[in-house]
Structure 1
């Protein structure tokens, strides 16, 4: 008797999806429970707002009553977190079932409402895990995109209200590669960094941004008898174009930009299909002089992007310093 070979695969898929939906539903109910607890605490706190330190006394009292019966999930620290949760997200119907309680705990730490909206939209769109969301928040994805875009554009792309029309709307500078595990004080050849990127390709694609897929490594191209090798080739389905990446473990030079421009021209004239958009070139470098980039490339060009890589995540103070420096340089242009 012949049985369709896809039968077991389909049944396993049904079971897997049902389990995932059940886990998500349970987690969402837990999230709602914490929200209602936070709401009730806030209401009680408001009733006693004329009493000094009433809020602090209240959370201590609630934890003392609940923790012995319901466990450490209702400690004083957790009780305070429930209150913060309600205050940060005051509308129960606006809570997203796609987000877990762990992810909401990460979002509670963010003060800026537009940042919260951005990370919620990106988490849902990309189906980020809690760990992936935490990394994107900690690596200041929102701020890095703002360096070359306006706030409205960043939010609109995140919420799928518009498709990106410019590579700078999704490509970041700097790019953080702490997941490669390379020591910053050590010298590396380009091939070493490239090999490490391929080994950690999933994390690298996440850091690159939305819509990227890997095409080739050390892509050989022939130009009338001369042979060249392109470090990495990607395709971006949102921009609908090839993305060429060259890696330089030293400071960027104008010759590097010229080489990348040649590769981009080749792909535009030989590989690109008529319905596709112009090829994008990313020069991933250890260091760069933005003035050299501006004077080497034509004004208002959008195909070549120089992005500096970092082998470690910055502290909040380091990032703020970097952001302020970049904003000042933009104002001076």
Structure 2
């Protein structure tokens, strides 16, 4: 008797999905349990707030009573974490089943409500793992997007409340490429850089932003008998356009910008379909002079973006300093325009 062999694959898929749903459901119940424990502790603290050090005494007492029966999940440190969890997310209906308890623990380190809302929305939209969320928080993704956008726009795009109208709303400057494993002190060729990106393509797509897919590397184009090679070609389904990336391991020059502009024009005129938007070009460079970029390109153009790459994770302080510098430049420009 012949049996359709696809039934095995289908049943295996059903089992795997059911197990995944069960694990998520259990983890969400655990998250809710910790929230309710934190709430109960906080309520008890409020009843005894007139007594000095009552909160510290209470948590120590709870740990002594619960840990022998329920294990290390009820150490003093963990119980403090449950209390902090409740204080950070006081609306239980705002807790998302798509996020695990480990991801919520990471979010407790995020210091503002707007930033937490951004990372929650991005985690749900992109189905980030714990490791991916951790990297985005520690590489200060929110602050990097704020360098070229306003807060409301960043949050609206993250929450799917609007589609990005400008490539800069999803493309980061700087890009943090520590996962490539290249040492910032060592010299390397652009080919080495490109090879490292292809080796770590999944991580690079995550760093690029939402909606990117890989198309080609060293894409050969012919222009009246001359051959040129485009470093990397991607497509973005949100922006509905090709995205060309040229890698420069030196400080950006106006010749580099002109070369990328030629590639962008070529794709617009020969590869782009009628329903697609205009091609975007990204110059991924070791260093840049923003004023040179400004005067090389036409005013108000949105197709060419110069993004500096960093081979190490900058501190949040460094990014905030850059953000403040950008804000000061913006204020200065407004005064000049007046």
Fold match, TM over 0.5? yes
Q: Secondary structure at the match of 1:22?
A: helix
Spell out, residue by residue over 1:38-62, the C-alpha distance to the aligned partner (whole angstroms, 9 max, x if none).
0000000000111111111111111
2:98 maps to: 98
2:48 equivalent in structure 1? 48
2:193 aligns to what? 193
Deviation of 1:92 after TM superposition, in Å, equals 1.3
Q: Flag the 1:268–1:61 CA change in 2: closer, same or farther, 3 A.
A: same
Whether 1:290 and 2:259 are equivalent positions in the alignment is: no
Confirm whether residue 78 of structure 1 aligns to residue 78 of structure 2: yes
- 1:235-314 superposed matches below 5 A: 235-314=235-314
1-side partners of 2:262 and 2:289: how far apart? 21
Q: Is the 8 A contact 2:212 2:236 kept in 1?
A: yes
C-alpha separation in 1, matches of 2:215 and 2:327: 34
Question: What residue number does 1:66 align with?
Answer: 66
The separation in 1 between residues aligned to 2:155 and 2:61, in whole angstroms, is 41
- Work out the number of aligned pairs and report it: 333
Give distance in 1, aligned partners of 2:111 and 2:74: 24
Distance 1:105 1:98 in 2: 14
Instruction: Tell which deviates more after alignment, 68-77 or 229-238.
Output: 68-77
Cα distance in 1, alignment partners of residues 241 and 2 from structure 2: 45
Runs (5+) with no aligned partner, structure 2: 334-338
Q: TM-score, normalised to structure 2's length?
A: 0.97
2:22 is matched with 22
- List per-residue Cα deviations over 1:240-278 (Å, max 9, x = no partner): 000000000000000000000000000000000000000
Distance in 2 (CA, whole Å) between partners of 1:52 and 1:292 is: 61
Q: What CA distance in whole angstroms lies between the structure 2 residues aligned with 1:320 and 1:300?
A: 26
Structure 1 residue runs of 4 or more that deviate by more than 6 Å after TM superposition: none
Q: RMSD of aligned C-alpha atoms?
A: 1.0
**Structure 1 length-normalised TM:** 0.98
- Structure 1 unaligned residues grouped into runs of 5+: none
Displacement of 1:3? 3.0
Match of 2:336 in 1: none
SS in structure 1 at match of 2:243:
strand
Aligned partner of 2:204 in structure 1 is 204
Q: Report what 2:32 is aligned to.
A: 32
Question: Once the two structures are superposed, what CA deviation does each residue of 1:216-236 show, in whole Å capped at 9, x if it has no partner?
Answer: 000000000010000000000
**Partner SS state of residue 244, structure 2:** strand
